[in-house]
Amino acid sequence: MCHLAGRTRARESLADPLGYFRTNATGTFLLLDAMAAAGVRHIVFASTGSVYGAPDRQPMTEDLPPAPPHPYAAGKLAAELALASFPAIILRMLNIAGGTDPDPTRLLPRALTAAGCGAPLTVNGDGSAVRDYLHIADAADAFAAAVDHLPAVERAVTYNVGSGVGSSVKDVVAAVERVTGRPVPLEYRPAAPEPAVSISDPSRAIADLGWSPRRSELEEIVRDAWSTQVRTLR
C-alpha cells in the first residue's frame, strides 16, 4: 500500500489549518482503519522534509528533531506518529519538480510561465532562498524501491528522499532562462517567514533502499518541465 494522498501547500495551510489536519492527519487515520479491516499491514507513506522546520544543520538528516513550522508539516508529522508501530516506510520529500506539475503556485511552473508569456515572476525576498529539488521520476523510483524493501520492515522507518543539492530561486530562474532561451522578468516582494536553506540528506535511503536521484540535476528538471509545458500548449 502506498499512501500519497494529501494537501501540499504550506502557505495555504496557515489559512486553513483544520482542513489540512482533516485531510492529511485524519485522512491517514481513516486509511489505517480501512487497512486493518482489509487485513493490509504494510504501507509506504509520503511525508515531507518540512517537518524539520529550519534547522541550522544542512543537509538535514533523519535524526534531527521535528519542528513543524506550519499546519501542513504538523499534519504530516501527526500521521507519521500514528504509523510508528506499523510496518511502514515513511518517505520525507521536499520539492518535487519536473514533468507536468498540476500546482501552478510552485516556483518552477511560475518561472516557466513567466518565461513563456513575459509576465513578471514574483519573488519573496532577494531570491537567495535555497531548496532541494527532486525530479518526479526519481520520487517515483523511491516509492518503487520502498515497496520492494517493505516486506523486511517490522516497525516504521523513515527516509529522506531528495537530491542532496541546494538551488536558490536565482539558480532556478537562471536555469529556466538557459533552457527556454527567454528572459524571466522578476518582481521582488518582502521576504516571507520561511527557512533560508532547506536541503535533504538522502544518504540513508541510498544505502538501505538501493535508490539514488539519477535525474535531479536542476537543468534536467527544468528541461523536462519545459518540454512538457510546450507540448501541452500545442
Whole-model pTM: value is 0.94
Query: Residue 115 — φ and ψ, nearest 5°?
Result: -65, -35
> Domain locations in the chain?
2-233
pLDDT along the chain (234 residues), means of 10: 95 97 97 96 97 97 97 98 96 94 90 93 95 98 97 96 98 97 95 93 98 97 87 49
pLDDT for 230: 60
72 tagged catalytic: yes
Set 52, 72, 133, 159: catalytic member: 72
CATH homologous superfamily of domain 2-233?
A: NAD(P)-binding Rossmann-like Domain (3.40.50.720)
Helix pair angle (218-233, 169-180), 10° resolution: 50
**Using one digit for the tens of pLDDT, what is the confidence trace for 7-55?**
999 999 999 999 999 999 999 999 999 999 999 999 999 999 999 999 9
pLDDT for 193: 87
